Each structure stands twice: as C-alpha cells, then as structure tokens.
Amino acid sequence: MYIEEFVAYLQKEKRMSKNTLEAYKRDVLGLIAFLESRGSHNVLETSSTDIVAYLHNLKGMGKSAATVNRKLASLRSFFNYLMKTGLVKENPTAGIKSPKIEHKELEFLSIEEIDKLLDTPDDTLKGRRDKAILEVLYATGIKVSELIDANVDDVNFRMGFITCAQTSSRARIVPLGRPARAALEDYVYDVRDKLIKDNKGEKALFVNYYGKRITRQGLWKMLKEYGEKAGIEHKLTPNIIRNSFAVHMLQNGADLKSLQELMGHEDITATQVYLSATKNRIKDVYDKAHPRA
C-alpha cells in the first residue's frame, strides 16, 4: 500500500535511477513477504525484533553481508519515509548495526593487459562492434547497465562524449578518448546498420545479430570470450574493466572528486576504495625498483 508512494518519493526527492528504485522496492517487498510468513500483515507494526529476525533469515539463506547491508539501508529509508508522513512514530531499524563486510582485493587489469584485450577483436562486423564496446567500457568506466541502455542519440561525436542517464535528472556526461571515439564512429557509421538490417526503428547503441539491443548475458559472454583470447588469467567481467578505468585514472594523476563524477558515485567513499589499489601498486613498484627498499 505504501510502497508505490515511497518509490515516488525517492524518485522526486532523491532523484534515484530506475534500477535503484526497483532495488528499494524489492527490498521492502522482501520484508513484507517475510512478515506475512510469520502471520503479520501490517508493515506499520514492524518492530526492531522483526527486523533482526528478517536479517538473520537473509543470512541463513546465504546472502552476503553486502546484500544484507543494502537491504537494511533500503528499510531504513522506507521507515524514515513512514515517520516523515506520520504513519509510524519510530523507525524499527534504528540502532541495528550493519553487518561487517570483508573487503575482497580489488580486481583490475594492468595497462598491458588492457592493451592486449583491446587489440583482440578481429575485423569482422562482430569484431568491430566488440572493439567499440571494449573501448567504450575502458575509456569511460561506465556500468554494464549504462552501456546496455545507451542509445545512439546519447553519443555526441562532435564534442566527443557519451551521456549516461537512466533518468534525465541524473544524466552525466562522460568524455570519450580518441581510440574509443574512433572505434565507436566506425561501428555506428559502418557496422550498426548492417547488424540492424530491417529493424530501422531500433534506438539502441549496441545491438546483437538480431538487430536488437544487446543483452547483459550477451555482453558477459562476449567479455569471457575475449578475456580467454587475451590470456587474462581470471574471468573477465564488466566490473573488472570499470575498476581498471578507475585505478589507471588515479595512477595517472586524476583527482578523487573528478573520478567520483565520472563514475557516477553518489558518495565519495565508494570512489575511495580505488585509492588502496593505487597505493598497493605504488608500494610494489617501490619494493621492486628501489635498491634499499
């Protein structure tokens, strides 16, 4: 009953993306389903004990600490909204600590590995499309969802940038480097129409052999293929390329605030995780290069 109003509030006041809004909605629905399984049908009567039981249930289902934290954050926002509207007097999530997250070592490629990866696609129509995809992913650091959702109209070749936006209010403009721009121009002007064939109304920037928007599964499969061809030891994912973009930017002098804007992070703490990787890399270089390290 209150979920749609909550989502509308987030969209208007917080200007969240479509994917984020859907995640918040799923998280609240998850709690409601749990409460109903315990015989409670009024979310306004949720207690802190209910919340703790729900979190323990998630943990018992094998959910990671990061997933539990995200769901708890969604529920905090939901009950804060209910308090703001006067529907509840207290937030049942107040005082409940988030589970500690064990931070995994950041996975990213070296510049040499990136160069090898970008040189892997051949000169076929598929290869030229894939070359453009790889170049854009590395040049911009955009998320896989942003790449898949991108339309042809989002690219400005004259100015050399791509607009990433799932809601117009959250649009951000990311520059395209010269190699990415060249690969993208080749794809858009000489390859895309041949892939689309008779499907002239398709707006998607990147399409598959059916002339339809490329899927997440298709992109992951493509990256796995090129990762193996390039001899990259670990499984290649869009996030590893995004991490590589961020780490290489910092290694070459980019400031944290600019990187935050390029990557679309709402909180700079999300960007700061890349600093540890650059510091570790600098220490490795020092240890290997300095005669008295």
Catalytic residues: 242, 286
Beta carbons within 10 angstroms of residue 79's beta carbon: 24
Residue-wise burial string across 282-293, b where 16 or more C-beta atoms lie within 10 A, e elsewhere: eeeeeeeeeeee
**Partners of 249 in the β-ladder:** none
Residue-wise burial string across 10-23, b where 16 or more C-beta atoms lie within 10 A, e elsewhere: bbeeeebbeebbee
Given its phi and psi angles, is residue 115 left (phi above 0), alpha (psi -120 to 50 degrees) or beta? alpha
SS3 label, residue 8 = helix
Both tokens of 232, joined, read: 């990259």
Rounded to 10 deg, the angle between the 256-263 and 238-251 helix axes is 160
CA distances to 16, 93, 226 from 7, rounded to whole Å, are 9, 19, 39
Rounded to whole angstroms, the Cα distance separating 235 from 230 reads 11
Residue-wise burial string across 132-145, b where 16 or more C-beta atoms lie within 10 A, e elsewhere: bbbbbbbbbbbbbe
Q: How far apart are the first and last CA of the chain?
A: 64
